Amino acid sequence: MTTTFVLFSLFNFFIIYGSLFYIMNLHVTIKRFILCMLVNALVSVLAYIFPQSIWISIAVSITLSTGLIYLFSKQHMVYFHLLTIYISSILVEYAVLFLVSIFHLSLVVHGSLIVLLLTIIMLGYKKFLTHYNWNQVNLAIRSQMVLFLIATITIIVFYKLIFVTAQKGDIQISITNLIILSSYFIIMITLTRILLFTMMKEQSINAKLIEQQLFNQYMQSLEQVNRDMQNFRHDHANILLSLRGYIENDDIIGLKKYFEEKIVKVEQQTLFKNQLFSQLDRLQIIEIKGLISTKLLLADELSIPISVEVPKMIKDISIDRLHLSRILGVFLDNAIEASASLDAPQINLAFLSMTNEIIIVIENKLLNSEISIQQLFTERYSTKGEHRGFGLSSVRNVLSGYPNITWNSRIENQWFIHEIIIRERITVEGDHM
């Protein structure tokens, strides 16, 4: 009795933890192995002591394993993976039991059938996860709670209807329950999938709308530049006439002054603006283009010079575009706000593509670095985890969800500098290991 029990518990151990480690891409180390072993041993002992109420050991097993694997991986999805593994292993066990009772198979075939079926299911599950990129999904806390609740209720119902009846000896009822539940489960999953799909579609329509708006803004700013150019051309004739006046009067000093003040300045401004838009042209992300051109116009109205540098074509950045436009909006708004009161303001913005990362730099001149740095830091720290002010809190919130992004902020020689370094997604996988 005890040996079969130990064997069974070992079997269970390899099924559950093996699948978990496989699905979550975890490395097996001796420390992890021993810890999992300990949890498993505790669960088995509990199951041995309380054979009547198996729910105790199941509950303990789920909580401890979730906690342990969460410690290893720091991923919230552990719980769902674990429950999926539990439910599928129950399904597999029953399916195999059904086959065994029909064909009167031996214990070895029984065991290997279980392993085979489970392996197939796990392979499929992992493929499903990587296909839909589940590990990159950042769910809101509320939806996480809902998912958590659904998963818990499912496991309780499964336990109640299948385990309990099976233990009472009603294998027949238990199997009927299992079939009904499984079909119910599959239908629910399909329906949820459809629901999620429509929700995602709605979201993408919303995103399209925003994109459209930003694109319109970009078009408007281009038109503005065009108008400026036309004005410049229109002024051209007048400028030439004035020059002629100075030359005819041999007024070299006046000519010099006029040239410096009227021509050089105006021309520089127009050319500069043109150059800005030619730089922006290389940033092929329409939402960001729209956002930046709107901010450029805003800064232009406040006569704050902004320079934009995009030395190489950028087609895509490994960050959600709406997230990117939100944080850029915060940074640019801050920079413009801080520049408004300066005598010689300057804002520089650059999108630099390196071999496998993109660096976004935003910097603005500061008047008094001492005050600002204190402000920045007290605001950042005021209450940990809940940074107020400057909108930097929302930047922090957004960026902390991305393992492939780092953010530096500092004050250097009267410049307030933000650097956002976005690694390409492919390299991120390697970092997890």
Partner 1 sequence: MRVIICEDNLVQREFIYKEIMNYTSFHEPSIELVLCTNTPDEVLSYLNNYQADCYFLDIELDHQLDGMELAMEIRKKDPLATIIFITTHADRLKLTFTYKLAALDFIVKDTPDQIATQVKEALQAAFEKYIQFAEVVPTELIQINIGERIKNIALQDIYFFETSTIPHKLTLYEKNGFYEFYGRLKDFEEVNPSFYRCHKSFLINLQHVKELDKKKRTVTMSNGAICVISFRAFRELQSRLSAY
Answer for which of 26, 56, 173, 359 binds partner 1 (CB under 8 A) is 359
Taking the least distance from each CB to partner 1, the nearer of 27 and 104 is: 27
Taking the least distance from each CB to partner 1, the nearer of 59 and 361 is: 361
Answer for which of 400, 414, 426, 429 binds partner 1 (CB under 8 A) is 400
* 3 state SS of 190: helix
d(CA 136, CA 323): 14
Taking the least distance from each CB to partner 1, the nearer of 76 and 110 is: 76
Taking the least distance from each CB to partner 1, the nearer of 67 and 124 is: 67
CA distances from 262 to 149, 268, 271, 299, 395 (A): 70, 10, 14, 22, 42
d(CA 64, CA 295): 51
d(CA 216, CA 103): 69
User: Does 216 contact partner 1 by CB under 8 A?
Assistant: no
Answer for which of 7, 271, 313, 426 binds partner 1 (CB under 8 A) is 271
Taking the least distance from each CB to partner 1, the nearer of 303 and 375 is: 375
Alpha helices in 259-399 (DSSP H): 265-281, 286-301, 321-339, 369-381, 392-399
Running DSSP on this structure, what letter comes out for residue 134? G
User: Does 143 contact partner 1 by CB under 8 A?
Assistant: no
Between strands 357-365 and 415-423, the pairing is: antiparallel
d(CA 185, CA 190): 9
| DSSP calls for 257-278 | HHIIIIIIHHHHHHHHHHHHHH
User: Does 134 contact partner 1 by CB under 8 A?
Assistant: no
d(CA 226, CA 235): 14
CA distances from 166 to 97, 177, 296 (A): 12, 10, 70
User: Does 408 contact partner 1 by CB under 8 A?
Assistant: yes
User: Does 407 contact partner 1 by CB under 8 A?
Assistant: yes
User: Does 424 contact partner 1 by CB under 8 A?
Assistant: no
Q: Which stretch binds partner 1 (CB under 8 A): 23-31, 128-136, 142-150, 358-366?
A: 358-366
User: Does 410 contact partner 1 by CB under 8 A?
Assistant: yes
Binding mask 13-52 for partner 1 (x = CB under 8 A): ----------------------------------------
Taking the least distance from each CB to partner 1, the nearer of 91 and 323 is: 323
Q: Of 279-308, which residues contact partner 1 (CB under 8 A)?
A: 307
Q: Which stretch binds partner 1 (CB under 8 A): 59-67, 198-206, 320-328, 376-384?
A: 376-384
Between strands 306-309 and 357-365, the pairing is: unpaired
Q: Which stretch binds partner 1 (CB under 8 A): 79-87, 148-156, 292-300, 342-350?
A: 342-350
Taking the least distance from each CB to partner 1, the nearer of 239 and 350 is: 350
Q: Is 174 exposed, middle or buried (0-12, 13-18, 19+ CB in 10 A)?
A: buried
Answer for which of 59, 150, 263, 361 binds partner 1 (CB under 8 A) is 361
Running DSSP on this structure, what letter comes out for residue 163? I
* Structure tokens given for 273: 């603006």
d(CA 97, CA 85): 18
Kindly list the residues in this chain that would bind partner 1 in the complex (CB under 8 A). 74, 268, 271-272, 275, 307, 309, 311, 348-350, 352, 354, 357, 359, 361, 363, 373, 376-378, 380-381, 384, 400, 402-403, 406-412, 417, 419, 421, 431-432
